């Protein structure tokens, strides 16, 4: 149960998690979990008048996206690309986007920047461990027994 | 070859004042415990009074830590224990994620609290009746175990920031070591401040300043590495508004180095006989170092948000 520590906000590379000041808990889109339980699609997909937001089985959406991308490329829109469709970003996303520019233009991390926070676990602790060894040696040198005082 | 520049599209976790002071007190408490242990291991009985003061000062500095962490949760403060206990119906149990510095840190703080409480009580009792609750050989082994946990407490706060996707914090791997070196330097300065008028502990004053100097060399080296790594990631500009805080941090480091050099010279010239003459220096330098410890953490925390 969320206790409002906000570690998830520090970690989320898409900035989609926010803190509710009234409840003190973290919130983000759940794809309308309550509607899904009732066999309905998320409200955003239902309401979208231009079909820009689509919801459905992943394989079907991927197929539709591939067809759409091929059509755009054939029309000369060579800059069109699918974000999250392949495994370049976090091994592939279950929500993907048709972009007409670089991902970072849309506030999405590109493949180089799509990294997990845990990438720094080893480096962070290793630096601390090396520092600890050097600091303990320094302390022992400073406090070594002396005959005078 | 294209140079890699980090780009971040995250939201700020709004870790501000409570967390800043938690990092500050955790660094001082853990650093003091490590110094108390090292002083006890010096083999010189004249260091024992300073070691006891180190263990005593750990206690209030540690007690305030969970208070600050709980206050930071805001209106959810009463759910602080969910960090350690999973209350999900049908899946209740203890929460421990070894890959999450926050999860490990909460358990570490609990274990550290145990070591600090026992060692502080032992030091208090030793001061009152010249004997603690734990025999000295066993006490030393206990202190070593506690010091290992203390080293973790002083450093995991930096690792916690590094293991995120925030700009600056995640662009460097040096924060764990930097916070550890800074915490040790700050606690050496704090102890020097506390023992400056204590004749029974005066022997350790110069030695603490000397240790502070060594820790400050480490800290300075890690500050340089911090700026190099953040600069290589392309987020150095975020530090510009916080340069005054960095200046205070570096001034603290410089003060430590000057004071340590003075005590090294004094030691070469004939020991601690002139300790009384450096008391003013101790006050000025210690306050400067402690301000530097706080400023360093503030500069790191605020520059990402």
pLDDT in tens, B82-109: 999 998 888 889 999 999 999 999 999 9
* A26 three-state secondary structure: strand
* A1 three-state secondary structure: coil
Whole-angstrom Cα distance, residue B252 to residue A58? 57
pLDDT band at B163 (very low <50, low <70, confident <90, very high): very high
What is the value of pTM for the model shown?
A: 0.92
Q: Is B264 on the interface with A (CB under 8 A)?
A: no
Beta strand residue intervals within chain B, DSSP E: 85-86, 93-94
The tokens of A142 are what? 């400073």
- Residue-wise pLDDT for A95-128, tens only, equals 899 999 999 999 999 988 888 888 899 999 999 9
pLDDT band at B280 (very low <50, low <70, confident <90, very high): low
How close is the nearest chain A Cα to the Cα of B37, in Å? 10
Q: Is B100 on the interface with A (CB under 8 A)?
A: yes
Interface with B, mutate which of A117, A118, A124, A148 (most B CBs under 10 A): A124
Whole-angstrom Cα distance, residue B281 to residue B124? 29
The tokens of B128 are what? 């009152």
- Residue-wise pLDDT for B231-261, tens only, equals 999 999 999 999 999 999 999 999 999 888 8
- The domain B17-303 is placed in CATH, from the list 1.20.1630.10, 3.20.20.70, 1.10.1660.10, 3.40.109.10, at 1.20.1630.10
Domain ranges of chain B: 17-303
How close is the nearest chain A Cα to the Cα of B294, in Å? 19
Whole-angstrom Cα distance, residue A147 to residue A85? 72
Q: Do B159 and A11 touch (CB under 8 A)?
A: no
How far from A94 is each of A89, A91, A112, A130, B76, CA to CA, in Å?
11, 10, 19, 40, 31
How close is the nearest chain B Cα to the Cα of A21, in Å? 8
The tokens of A17 are what? 């998690």
Q: Please give the mean pLDDT across all residues of chain B.
A: 90
Residue A27 forms beta bridges with which residues?
A18
The tokens of A96 are what? 């993907």
Residues near B115 by Cβ (< 8 Å), separated by ≥ 6? Answer: B33, B142, B145, B146, B149, B150
Q: Do B162 and A123 touch (CB under 8 A)?
A: yes
Q: Do A124 and B34 touch (CB under 8 A)?
A: no
ipTM tops the 0.85 cut: yes
Whole-angstrom Cα distance, residue A71 to residue B130? 86
Strand A25-27 vs strand A18-20: parallel, antiparallel, or unpaired?
A: antiparallel
Q: Is B63 on the interface with A (CB under 8 A)?
A: no
């Amino acid at each position: 149960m969320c206790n409002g520590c906000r570690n998830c906000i520090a970690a989320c590379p898409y900035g989609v998690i926010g803190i509710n000041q009234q409840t003190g808990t973290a919130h983000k889109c759940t794809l309308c979990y309550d509607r899904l339980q009732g066999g309905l699609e998320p409200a955003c997909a239902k309401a979208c008048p231009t079909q820009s937001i689509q919801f459905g089985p992943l394989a079907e959406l991927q197929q539709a996206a591939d067809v759409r991308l091929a059509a755009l490329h054939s029309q000369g829109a060579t800059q069109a690309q699918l974000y999250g469709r392949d495994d370049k970003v976090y091994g592939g996303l279950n929500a993907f986007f048709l972009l007409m520019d670089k991902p970072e233009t849309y506030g999405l991390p590109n493949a180089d920047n799509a990294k997990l926070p845990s990438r720094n676990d080893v480096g962070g602790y290793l630096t601390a461990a090396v520092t600890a060894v050097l600091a303990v040696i320094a302390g022992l040198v400073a406090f070594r027994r002396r005959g005078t005082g | 070859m294209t140079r890699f520049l980090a780009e971040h599209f995250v939201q700020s976790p709004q870790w501000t004042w409570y967390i800043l002071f938690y990092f500050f007190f955790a660094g001082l408490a853990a650093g003091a415990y490590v110094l108390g242990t090292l002083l006890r291991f010096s083999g010189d009985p004249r260091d024992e009074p300073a070691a006891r003061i180190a263990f005593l000062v750990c206690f209030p500095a540690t007690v305030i830590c969970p208070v600050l962490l709980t206050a930071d949760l805001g209106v959810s403060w009463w759910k602080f224990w969910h960090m350690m206990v999973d209350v999900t119906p049908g899946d209740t149990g203890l929460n421990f994620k070894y890959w999450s510095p926050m999860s490990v840190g909460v358990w570490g703080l609990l274990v550290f609290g145990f070591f600090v409480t026992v060692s502080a009580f032992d030091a208090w009792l030793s001061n009152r009746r010249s004997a603690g609750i734990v025999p000295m050989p066993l006490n030393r082994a206990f202190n070593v175990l506690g010091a290992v946990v203390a080293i973790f407490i002083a450093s995991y706060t930096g690792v916690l920031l590094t293991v995120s996707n925030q700009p600056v914090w995640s662009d460097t791997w040096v924060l764990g070591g930097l916070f550890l070196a800074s915490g040790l330097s700050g606690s050496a300065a704090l102890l020097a401040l506390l023992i400056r008028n204590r004749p029974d502990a005066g022997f350790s004053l110069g030695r603490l300043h000397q240790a502070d100097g060594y820790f400050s060399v480490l800290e300075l080296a890690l500050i340089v590495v911090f700026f190099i790594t953040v600069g290589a990631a392309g987020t150095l500009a975020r530090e510009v508004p916080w340069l005054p805080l960095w200046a205070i941090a570096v001034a603290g480091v410089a003060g430590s180095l000057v004071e340590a050099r003075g005590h090294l010279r004094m030691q070469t010239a004939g020991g601690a006989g002139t300790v009384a003459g450096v008391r003013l220096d101790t006050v000025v330098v210690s306050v400067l170092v402690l301000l530097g410890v706080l400023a360093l953490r503030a500069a790191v925390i605020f520059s990402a948000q």
